[in-house]
Amino acid sequence: MKLVLLDAKTLGELKELELLRKYGELVVYQYTTSDEVVERVSDADIIITNKVIINRQVMDHAANLKLICVAATGMNNIELDYAALKGIQVKNVKGYSTEGVAQHTFALILYILNHISLYDQFVKNKSYSGSTIFTHHAWPIHELGSMKFGIIGLGAIGEKVGEIAKAFGAEVRYYSTSGNNTNEKFKRVSLEELLKNSDIISIHAPLNETTTNLISYKELIQMKPTSILVNTGRGGIINEGDLAKIIDEERILAAALDVFEKEPLPDRSPLLFIRNHDRLIVTPHIAWAGVESRKRLIEGICRNIEEFLN
């Protein structure tokens, strides 16, 4: 069997990648452009890809291809219908990043609520050293437990986030983007109610026809001026131009994003030209990428290959 890993760089330097060699010849590419895919997989039995697109053209030029392993949960980079037509199995890995994404979500929220950056600089620039009292109250801190916490998309990650928010003492509600979720742990509400009444809104939905551009200006304008919007789900759910506008109009307190419409974030993105830049926290799609999460991901790929071979 020949295995071709197309974008190893996205998985980082982990010794667990060596586990893949037990299934056959392993060829590893750190990064693969769209122009390089066809040639690199032409004799592959198994393709492993995180973000590289595998479409019908690629499949038609990979005569030996039997299995596509997606090093992620989302499979929108694979032309699934065509793979099924050709008898090529496609397997993803679910649940590997639940803990990591939930942790990063609260890292962003608490960073904003506790004004960590501002207080850190207050000490480091020696303002605290010149203070007449032992503390400082310039940026008010509010307790998460006193807040209404809204979740958009209550899958495994959304549910985990809800449980943590509840442990803080927050009142948790959710909006089901599919309309099919009836989780009894939390109250289900309409999107309008969630937007209008939540102090914190955290997005954990997949990107699909229902959720693309789900949060645009007309939704953002419904939020409270003291509310915080967090997206560690998928870019494209929030209209970034509208979010930049709403932040500069100071109609919400802050936003925190780990995902974007285009990744990497273009240098002309409206998010990079916000005047009130202290109201926006951004990280480079890292919520999923904790060391433990990536190890579980590789282990999941190995399980998928073993299931296929057996």
The gap between the terminal CA atoms of the chain, to the nearest Å, is: 14
Catalytic residues: 234, 263, 285
Residues in the chain: 310
Which DSSP string corresponds to the chain? Answer: -EEEES-GGGG-S-GGGGGGGGGSEEEE-S---TTTHHHHTTT-SEEEESS--B-HHHHHT-TT--EEEESSS--TTB-HHHHHHTT-EEE---STTHHHHHHHHHHHHHHHHTTHHHHHHHHHTTTTTT-SSS---SS----GGGSEEEEE--SHHHHHHHHHHHHHT-EEEEE-SSS----TTSEE--HHHHHHH-SEEEE-PPPSTTTTT-B-HHHHTTS-TT-EEEE-S-TTSB-HHHHHHHHHTT-SSEEEES--SSSSPPTT-GGGG-SSGGGEEE--S-TT--HHHHHHHHHHHHHHHHHHH-
| The dihedral sign for the CA sequence 218, 219, 223, 227 | negative
